[in-house]
Structure 1
Amino acid sequence: MAKKMKWHKVLDDVKDLPEGRVMSANAEHQVLCLTHFEGKISALDNRCPHQGGPLGEGSIENGLLRCPWHGWDYHPCTGLAPGYDDGVETFLTKVEDGAVFVGIEEEAPHEATISDLMAETMVNWGVTKVFGMVGHSNLGFADAMRRQEEQGKLNFYGIRHEGAASFAASAYGKLTGKPAACFAIAGPGSTNMFTGLWDAKVDRAPILALTGQVATQVIGTGNFQEVDLVKAFGAVAEFNHATQSSSKHAELMGTAIKHAILKRDVSHLTFPDEVQELPVPENASPGTPDGRMTPLQIAPPQESLDEAITLFKKSKKPAIIVGHGARFNMPAIIEFAESINAPVMTTFKAKGQIADNHPLGCGVLGRSGTPIASWFMNEADMLCVFGASFSNHTGITDHIPTIQIDFDPLALSKFHKIDVPVWGEISVTVDLLKKGLSGKTDTVDRRDEVAKRWAIWKSEKAKRLLEDQGKGVSSIAVFDAMNKLTPANAVICADVGNNAYSLGRYFETKEHTFLMSGYLGSIGFAFPAAMGAWAAVGDSRPIIAVAGDGGFCQYLAELTTAVKYKMPIKLILLNNSELGKISKEQRAGEFDVWATELHNPNFSDYANSCGALGIRVESKDDLADAMKQVIAHDGPAMLEVMTDVGLI
């Protein structure tokens, strides 16, 4: 049966295509080259059959249409190549009321591709948020994701730099415990994602990296944008495979996501160009996680549990330290702490996992910490550590009898000998400890002491708040204002630098959740992470990014992404025109301060030019009103505070 012809208007006015000129036009998915030659309007396939050059960008020379890429000639009306037996397809044209129409046969229904099969499998496994950039080597898979998005099953966020995509996906994984995907083209697009992928890897956040790839036959030949991505991702990806025409495609995608979830690590799949648009193999169907995942509530060995209970029974002043690995188990841990009168402190990466106004909450340990946390740690006669690694940045002492509890046996006693290492899922282990210790402890109630120490620290902060060297607003003033004005349930994404140290030290948590680049410590994390956080929680919680001028400049173009997708992210930007943390380290190392000064734009003007709200503050007196306006704004907004690099 002959296909039905459908006419498409491709030019409103024939006068817009003068005699002897060519132009490109679209009719549904068909790209056309329109020509006006010898008084006739013609339509040819826009793609030159030799190298794919766009004929509509060419020109008519000596009566022939010349391809702009390699100079092959075609007749402007017939599409034939003089002297050769090849040419390009032509289409019917007509002019009505001065407009140009082209007749195209109705398109056949879409035939499902391998990319469709794998994208649907990805969605079935719960990966529904993708951050990335569409380009020439990932178009087939991108089109499959478009179809999933049109069905309401997936959200794709087109970013401005692939590093921001991987940071956003990393933050999503840290916040939810579930993977999001980052997506890039072959070569530089894929390598741009490495920093965010390493951030996810070292902080144990599940993440899925999807990359386009040049055709398999040219890998290793020096082809344009050709990088062996399986080799390149070998160090960062726990699961790392190239999709082939003969792969079990649904199984491959499901296995990649399963590794990301269970290993809390990076999974990478790359899609060679020739594979993406192949039809789905016969009898293949999308995969699901049904029956493919085991419950993870693993109890600890009885021997370890008994040793921990024995140590707790001996203790008069136990203290609990929680790391980022305990973030999904905090209600049970806090209830346990209350039952044994144990003060609770956190690593910096775990800031906010217990509120600072909780009667047993002691704030953050370590370099970004409070004197309250360090005091109670060193006064304790026993420590119980949940989900923390004991790296040198955590600030956890190694000279007090310690129980360490973690889901990962390799994390136990990683840096030094632990008195009682306990391997088990944290919520199960806490429940068993609570039952085993019920009515069997004799601990000192430290609540009054916690309140006393907080009063001392708040008095000290009030004194520091008065400091003014006439060189800008102090960091403590910024975070004092945030303490009063930040919504109690906000997700706060912190960057790296002095801004982060001040945040850890001065900001008092309530129901907040904090995200940061922990072990990698990558500058530039905060704003892309805020995009990932928003993708996770939507408008149900406020999203605030805290960054210095050095960090924000790394991905400042992503402000346009936030505007495009109406992400109501609020950025608190501390601008001191310096990489202040590095200057401080140079002085501490007895080096000259060098190459840390910055030349900055007016960031608030930049925000306004992007379509966000931007406000600049140069005086502490203006801080509160400006912060109120930024937080209340319906959409992305930036508060740029000109700060004193010496008052952190």
Structure 2
Amino acid sequence: MSQQRTELVWHRVADRDELPEGRVKTVTAGHKSLCLTHFEGRHAALDNRCPHQGGPLGEGSIEKGLLRCPWHGWDYHPCTGKAPGFDDGVETFQLEEREDGIFVGLPAEASHTATVTDVMAQTMTAWGIDAVFGMVGHSNLGLADALRLEEEAGNLRFFGVRHEGAAAFACSGYAKLTGRPAACLTIAGPGATNLLTGLWDAKVDRAPVLALTGQVDTQVLGPGAFQEVDLASAFSAVTAFSQTVLHDSKHAELVALALKTAIVQRDVAHLIFPDEVQTLPAPEGAEPSEPRGRIANASIAPPLESLDAALELLRGAKRPTIVVGHGARFSMDSVIELAEMLDAPVLTTFKAKGIIPDDHPLACGVLGRSGTSIASYFMNEADVLLVFGASFSNHTGITPKIPTIQVDFDRMALGKFHAIEVPVWGDIDVTAQALLTELVDADAANVEGADGGPSGDSEREVEGSGHGSPAAPSASGAPLAHGASSKVNPRGEIAERWAIWRDEKARRREDDRGRGLNSATVFEALSIAVDEDAVIAVDVGNNTYSFGRYFECRNQSVLMSGYLGSIGFGFPAAMGAWAAEGDRRQIVSVSGDGGFGQYMGEITTAVKYGMDITHVLLNNSELGKISKEQRAGQWDVWQTSLQNPNFAEFASGCGALGIRVTSPDELDGALRQALDHEGPALVEIITDVELI
């Protein structure tokens, strides 16, 4: 049973006096796990795996001269590995006691044999997966090793988290920021089910994510093995694609279809990896799949009939107003150019906060419960609404009483909650450019006809302008759309409304009940302190509403849990943002004490990987939003108080920078110090629950 000494590789596994007489321990030689024994003055090295059910013999004990397996009590001789009364036993290995330690000789390790999960991991990176968040565990070790090889090759980065829910939220944040998927990795059973909240957040906010879950061996599926969960059923509602990887699957193609689904449908895809399948040798000649030729250009133009109907409404409007949602975030150059041509106020949904700078002369801020009266005023004054990439959430409150043009890439989103005048199916950037081109061409024709030149439709010119005169220029210098010479120029009104609101914010910054800082002060300071192109991940609660009202965006990107509204989103989403943009942009997260408490252990993840994230924590020792809702519903305020640690000290104990702010004069300096710190930092601000 012992190995021959020839052609062995010797590994130092322990000091000579490290293991007391009569004791055993687990040691590692290369990739081999061994049970090192010390019995009757002699050291021996045995295979660490009990042949019964794989129990770790190095965790056992020597009882009455026999090594007993800690799992089921099977006995072996501590030096020979033989099982008394049987012909079998465990393998032993050559051992030498040298002056500088105890050495074990093993045959040279064979070169790595490519597995099916190697091919699948290579397919993931070929399709653009460059970040994986998750936890390595007993039912995903083969897949984890394939991901390790891709990380060693420089093709991806793996971030080991403290809770799988944080991994899913990190992927959601990554996707909301970039439009590209990241992946999350878990074991079977509870590791997989912990993903579900974060995956639902991604699904309802149309963020592409790839979930990778381990599973028990296929031979024990069904009867109810340890940590067995019917993952296909558990994930069926949250995924657009969910498949189990089998022995004879087309392994690279499964990954390709999963990622194609996630990217094209902007949804969640899921692959289930039974344990034994993960280490199957890859078929000879197996190659990873690549995305070339698999995904069509999504820049589809709208049907001409829809475009003409939209143009007709816009040409007749005196107060057209544009509403943009999160779906327009990658098309704002075209949307803003169109707004400037129309002199149209631009309102955003809360989820789209910041996609037009608040200091733009046509920007009116956020519409709805998390917004201000500026946006509400201009929606109510509009005679046509032009809506790009918004979902008409009841929290936003886009009125159905004003003629509406809705543009979206998703046909199901068009007129989803009520009938609208003009639903336009098309890519937002393409559609905005098409509207702009048609309106500019019409104005050019107007001007040319009025100057005595040729005109293709002189009767329409006279009807549209009222007097046959050229269209009057807008405040921006661009001619007004054909038929809109009496159109209102809103820029002065917008500036006036902003001035009224900023005066109100200044008054609120003076509020002080001696119970902590008010939110207006916190977010005024944060508006000034953060970089103008920072990424800001916002959690759920009163802190979120206050951020929507008081923080003034320049060119920041704002991430939030939109339709799901899941508390705890903020810090993990910032981790995802850091993975996507951390070397190029400042990453900030904002939460209340309730939200941060959900995943506060992830501060250690940020420390481990050097994530340069500044977390701004508003601590009022209460679930303040819930208290407010209880009062509004005439309920008793009950079970909303929180017992908190000193979060700044907690962050410091984890290896991050922690600063506590208890007075307004400390705030600016604390934010600056935290933002300048290289690595994770937390600013805990004691705030007044009533001054939101």
Normalised by the shorter chain, which TM-score bucket?
Answer: over 0.9
| 1:352-363 matches, cutoff 5 A | 352-363=354-365
Partner of 2:653: 609
Tell me the CA shift for residue 9 of structure 1. Answer: 0.6
Residue deviations 1:377-406 (CA, integer Å, cap 9, x gap): 111111000000112011211111110000
Tell me the CA shift for residue 631 of structure 1. Answer: 1.3
| 1:585-624 matches, cutoff 5 A | 585-624=629-668
Partner of 2:185: 183
Q: C-alpha separation between the residues in 2 aligned to 1:219 and 1:425?
A: 45
Residue deviations 1:523-554 (CA, integer Å, cap 9, x gap): 00000000000001022100100000000000
Secondary structure of 1:368 counterpart: coil
Residues 367 and 375 in structure 2, CA contact (< 8 A), matched pair in contact too: yes
Query: In structure 2, which of residues 657, 671, 681 is the aligned counterpart of residue 627 of structure 1?
Result: 671
Report the residue type matching 1:494 in the other structure: V
Residue deviations 1:561-593 (CA, integer Å, cap 9, x gap): 000000010011000000000000011111111
Ranges of 4+ aligned residues in structure 1 off by more than 4 Å: none
Residues 9 and 101 in structure 1, CA contact (< 8 A), matched pair in contact too: yes
Tell me the CA shift for residue 483 of structure 1. Answer: 1.5
Tell me the CA shift for residue 209 of structure 1. Answer: 0.3
Residues 172 and 533 in structure 1, CA contact (< 8 A), matched pair in contact too: yes
Query: In structure 2, which of residues 554, 570, 575 is the aligned counterpart of residue 526 of structure 1?
Result: 570
Secondary structure of 1:16 counterpart: coil
Partner of 2:270: 268
| 1:328-407 matches, cutoff 5 A | 328-407=330-409
Partner of 1:130: 132
Q: Does 1:560 align with 2:562?
A: no
Report the residue type matching 1:642 in the other structure: I
Tell me the CA shift for residue 52 of structure 1. Answer: 0.8
Partner of 1:8: 11
Residues 25 and 34 in structure 1, CA contact (< 8 A), matched pair in contact too: yes
Q: C-alpha separation between the residues in 1 aligned to 2:229 and 2:626?
A: 34
TM-score (norm 2): 0.93
Q: C-alpha separation between the residues in 2 aligned to 1:250 and 1:589?
A: 54
| 1:85-484 matches, cutoff 5 A | 85-97=87-99, 99-438=101-440, 439=443, 440-441=481-482, 442=484, 443-484=487-528
Q: C-alpha separation between the residues in 2 aligned to 1:11 and 1:467?
A: 66
Query: In structure 2, which of residues 43, 48, 51 is the aligned counterpart of residue 49 of structure 1?
Result: 51
Residues 530 and 545 in structure 1, CA contact (< 8 A), matched pair in contact too: yes
Partner of 2:458: none
Report the residue type matching 1:597 in the other structure: S
Partner of 1:644: 688
Q: Select the structure of larger CA radius of gyration.
A: 2
616 and 521 in structure 1: CA distance in 2 versus 1, 3 angstrom threshold: same
Residues 582 and 596 in structure 1, CA contact (< 8 A), matched pair in contact too: yes
Secondary structure of 1:93 counterpart: strand
Q: C-alpha separation between the residues in 2 aligned to 1:401 and 1:341?
A: 18
Q: Name the count of aligned residue pairs.
A: 647
Report the residue type matching 1:317 in the other structure: R
Partner of 2:27: 25
Tell me the CA shift for residue 98 of structure 1. Answer: 5.0
Residues 3 and 106 in structure 1, CA contact (< 8 A), matched pair in contact too: no
Report the residue type matching 2:278 in the other structure: Q
Report the residue type matching 1:97 in the other structure: E
TM-score (norm 1): 0.99
Tell me the CA shift for residue 3 of structure 1. Answer: 7.8
Tell me the CA shift for residue 220 of structure 1. Answer: 1.9
Secondary structure of 2:369 counterpart: helix
Residues 202 and 267 in structure 2, CA contact (< 8 A), matched pair in contact too: yes
Secondary structure of 1:421 counterpart: strand
Secondary structure of 2:582 counterpart: helix
Residue deviations 1:591-642 (CA, integer Å, cap 9, x gap): 1111101110000000000000111111112111111111111111111000
Q: C-alpha separation between the residues in 2 aligned to 1:336 and 1:453?
A: 22
Report the residue type matching 2:518 in the other structure: S
Tell me the CA shift for residue 38 of structure 1. Answer: 2.1
Q: C-alpha separation between the residues in 1 aligned to 2:611 and 2:651?
A: 14
Residues 347 and 395 in structure 1, CA contact (< 8 A), matched pair in contact too: no
Residues 617 and 640 in structure 1, CA contact (< 8 A), matched pair in contact too: yes
* RMSD of aligned Cα (Å): 1.1
Q: C-alpha separation between the residues in 1 aligned to 2:493 and 2:6?
A: 84
Q: C-alpha separation between the residues in 1 aligned to 2:86 and 2:361?
A: 87
Residue deviations 1:258-302 (CA, integer Å, cap 9, x gap): 000000000000100110000001232111111111111111111
Secondary structure of 1:15 counterpart: coil
Q: C-alpha separation between the residues in 1 aligned to 2:90 and 2:292?
A: 49
Residues 22 and 37 in structure 2, CA contact (< 8 A), matched pair in contact too: yes
Q: C-alpha separation between the residues in 1 aligned to 2:614 and 2:582?
A: 14
Report the residue type matching 1:611 in the other structure: G
Secondary structure of 1:539 counterpart: coil
Q: C-alpha separation between the residues in 2 aligned to 1:16 and 1:569?
A: 43
Report the residue type matching 1:584 in the other structure: K
Tell me the CA shift for residue 8 of structure 1. Answer: 0.6
Residues 582 and 612 in structure 2, CA contact (< 8 A), matched pair in contact too: no
Tell me the CA shift for residue 36 of structure 1. Answer: 1.3
Report the residue type matching 1:189 in the other structure: G
Any stretches of 5+ residues in structure 1 without a counterpart? none
213 and 456 in structure 1: CA distance in 2 versus 1, 3 angstrom threshold: same
Residue deviations 1:43-65 (CA, integer Å, cap 9, x gap): 00001011111111111111111
Partner of 1:80: 82
Query: In structure 2, which of residues 540, 543, 555 is the aligned counterpart of residue 511 of structure 1?
Result: 555
Partner of 1:541: 585
Q: C-alpha separation between the residues in 2 aligned to 1:297 and 1:3?
A: 66
Partner of 2:455: none
Residues 73 and 82 in structure 1, CA contact (< 8 A), matched pair in contact too: yes
Report the residue type matching 2:14 in the other structure: L
Report the residue type matching 2:137 in the other structure: G
Partner of 2:72: 70
Secondary structure of 1:310 counterpart: helix
Residue deviations 1:27-76 (CA, integer Å, cap 9, x gap): 01001111112222110000101111111111111111111110001111
| 1:564-575 matches, cutoff 5 A | 564-575=608-619
Q: C-alpha separation between the residues in 2 aligned to 1:285 and 1:75?
A: 47
Q: C-alpha separation between the residues in 2 aligned to 1:530 and 1:18?
A: 49
Secondary structure of 1:256 counterpart: helix
